[in-house]
């Protein structure tokens, strides 16, 4: 029998996959403090992991661990070098959340250019003309996605799904991803951009879909932001830390760019003193870009399914991050 440590709760219907299966036992571990995880995961054959940190110390103390199954696709919370040393595969849920995050980006773009929240308030407050007419002149505060330029940073699963949706709105889509061939981008009828500077100078929207790594930490800083258009928006649903939050805050305060949509922070939850939180030009969501009911279920099922497939010798290699370690 294999014992699975499920670190933080997942969708109830995902647990049903192993609930009545004699090959598996499981426990749900809510306390993600390192010492507790060292203790609880010691005898686990598999770990289903949401956002808790899986450190070197925890991994080295696991005596029976054979697979780590990440609930999601980012894995910056896992010490992958320690897994590699022990030859333990790390899987991710590659089929679960790309469309969900892409839809969230579209919602953030509409937040800025359709102003539904402001119009809604004006109607409720009996201010019918407040956002329509000033001095008997019609004013227009909302705009269209049609014909606007978007730079998609990172052309992986999410970047590709986003590009299709942007094309459907008639946007001009530019892609910066030095690791993807020009042809693969042109196959989607999109334009490959060779340097990030060239791309951001064109962008009305910049949407970030790259992993957080030593290469991408603080990639979007004041040197980059100051090359953007004044009317541009940055949307980050990838990972906090890719944008330098202080530089973003300063740029917004100095009207260098128009606004930002932020789902992810360098520290989560963000410190109450983080000045960005008070910035009215930002719309925030609490790392919920992938948290729809549908995606929550898919991520949970895929997380557990990857563990079961592994023990059944039936695991799709595509879901393994560290293919060389096994
Ligand atoms: P992916 O691995 O399919 O794609 C990432 C792409 O980024 C790859 O094509 C890669 O070549 C490219 N890339 C890497 N470094 C780059 C760089 N320096 N410049 C430009 N491109 C670079 O990943 P994905 O499934 O599309 O997810 C992207 C990121 O989104 C994940 O790493 C994860 O952290 C984040 N994410 C967040 C949420 C959320 O809830 N907010 C949900 C899912 C994923």
Dist. CA 291–CA 265, nearest whole Å? 16
Q: For 36, what's the count of Cα atoms within 13 Å in the CB-facing half-sphere?
A: 11
- The pLDDT value recorded for residue 316 is 96
The percentage of residues in the chain with a pLDDT greater than 70, rounded to a whole number, is 100
108 and 169: one domain? yes
66 and 33: one domain? yes
pLDDT band at 19 (very low <50, low <70, confident <90, very high): very high
How many angstroms separate the alpha carbon of residue 29 from the centre of ligand 1? 28
Query: In the structure encoding, which two tokens stand for residue 228, read together?
Result: 């953007």
- The pLDDT value recorded for residue 326 is 73
172 and 236: one domain? yes
124 and 212: one domain? yes
pLDDT band at 110 (very low <50, low <70, confident <90, very high): very high
Dist. CA 287–CA 285, nearest whole Å? 6
Question: Over 80: is that where the pLDDT of 299 sits?
Answer: yes
Q: What is the pLDDT of residues 129-155, one digit of tens each?
A: 999 999 999 999 999 999 999 999 999
How many angstroms separate the alpha carbon of residue 180 from the centre of ligand 1? 12
- The pLDDT value recorded for residue 67 is 98
Mean pLDDT score, 278-295: 98
268 and 131: one domain? yes
List the catalytic residue out of 56, 186, 268, 294.
268
30 and 178: one domain? no
Question: Over 90: is that where the pLDDT of 325 sits?
Answer: no
Nearest to 265 by CA among 295, 280, 285, 292: 285
279 and 300: one domain? no
Site to probe by mutation for ligand 1, drawn from 152, 155, 156 as the one with most ligand atoms within 8 Å of Cβ, is 156
- The pLDDT value recorded for residue 314 is 97
Q: What is the pLDDT of residues 36-65, one digit of tens each?
A: 999 999 999 999 999 999 999 999 999 999
- The pLDDT value recorded for residue 61 is 98
pLDDT band at 96 (very low <50, low <70, confident <90, very high): very high
State yes or no: is 268 an active-site residue: yes
242 and 112: one domain? yes
Site to probe by mutation for ligand 1, drawn from 95, 158, 303 as the one with most ligand atoms within 8 Å of Cβ, is 158
List the catalytic residue out of 239, 245, 302, 305.
239
23 and 88: one domain? yes
Question: Over 80: is that where the pLDDT of 174 sits?
Answer: yes
How many angstroms separate the alpha carbon of residue 28 from the centre of ligand 1? 28
- The pLDDT value recorded for residue 89 is 98
113 and 245: one domain? yes
Nearest to 51 by CA among 75, 87, 18, 27: 75
How many angstroms separate the alpha carbon of residue 175 from the centre of ligand 1? 13
What spatial distance separates the first Cα and last Cα of the chain, rounded to whole Å? 22
CATH number of the domain encompassing residue 314: 3.40.50.720
Q: Which domain holds residue 90?
A: 2-95+293-325
Q: What ligand 1 atom has the least distance to the C-alpha of 98?
A: 25
45 and 77: one domain? yes
State yes or no: is 56 an active-site residue: no
Rounded mean pLDDT of the chain?
97
Backbone angles phi, psi at 216, to 5 degrees: -100, -5
Q: Whose CA is nearest to atom 11 of ligand 1?
A: 179
Task: Give residues (CB < 6 A) around ligand 1.
Answer: 72-74, 97-98, 101, 153-159, 176-180, 209-211, 215-216, 237-239, 263-264, 287, 289-290
153 and 44: one domain? no
Q: What is the pLDDT of residues 264-282, one digit of tens each?
A: 999 999 999 999 999 999 9
How many angstroms separate the alpha carbon of residue 242 from the centre of ligand 1? 11
Query: For residue 288, what is the DSSP state?
Result: -
- The pLDDT value recorded for residue 77 is 96
Q: In the chain, how many domains are there?
A: 2
């Amino acid at each position: 029998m294999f014992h699975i440590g499920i670190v933080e709760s997942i969708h109830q219907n995902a647990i049903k996959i192993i609930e009545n299966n004699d090959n598996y036992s499981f426990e749900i571990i809510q306390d993600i403090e390192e010492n507790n995880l060292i203790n609880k995961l010691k005898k686990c054959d598999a770990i289903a992991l949401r956002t808790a940190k899986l450190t070197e110390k925890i991994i080295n103390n696991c005596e029976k661990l054979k697979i780590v199954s990440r609930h999601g696709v980012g894995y910056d919370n896992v010490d992958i070098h320690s897994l590699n040393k022990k030859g333990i595969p790390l899987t991710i849920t590659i089929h679960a959340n790309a469309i969900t995050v892409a839809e969230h980006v579209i919602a953030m773009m509409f937040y800025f250019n359709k102003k539904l929240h402001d119009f809604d308030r004006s109607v409720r407050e009996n201010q019918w003309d407040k956002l329509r007419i000033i001095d008997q002149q019609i004013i227009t505060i909302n705009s269209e996605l049609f014909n606007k330029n978007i730079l998609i940073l990172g052309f992986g699963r999410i970047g590709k799904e986003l590009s299709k949706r942007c094309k459907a709105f008639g946007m001009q889509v530019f892609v910066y991803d030095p690791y993807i061939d020009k042809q693969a981008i042109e196959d989607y009828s999109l334009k490959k951009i060779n340097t990030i500077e060239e791309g951001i100078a064109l962008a009305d929207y910049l949407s970030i879909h790259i992993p957080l790594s030593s290469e991408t930490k603080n990639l979007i800083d004041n040197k980059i932001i100051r090359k953007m258009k004044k009317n541009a928006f940055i949307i980050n649903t990838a990972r906090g830390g890719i944008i330098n939050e202080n530089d973003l805050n300063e740029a917004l305060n100095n009207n260098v760019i128009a606004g930002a949509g932020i789902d992810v922070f360098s520290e989560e939850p963000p410190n109450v003193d983080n000045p960005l939180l008070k910035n009215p030009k930002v719309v925030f969501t609490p790392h919920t870009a992938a948290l729809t009911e549908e995606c929550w279920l898919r991520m949970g099922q895929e997380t557990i399914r990857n563990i079961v497939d592994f023990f059944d010798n039936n695991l799709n290699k595509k879901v393994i991050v560290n293919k060389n370690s096994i």
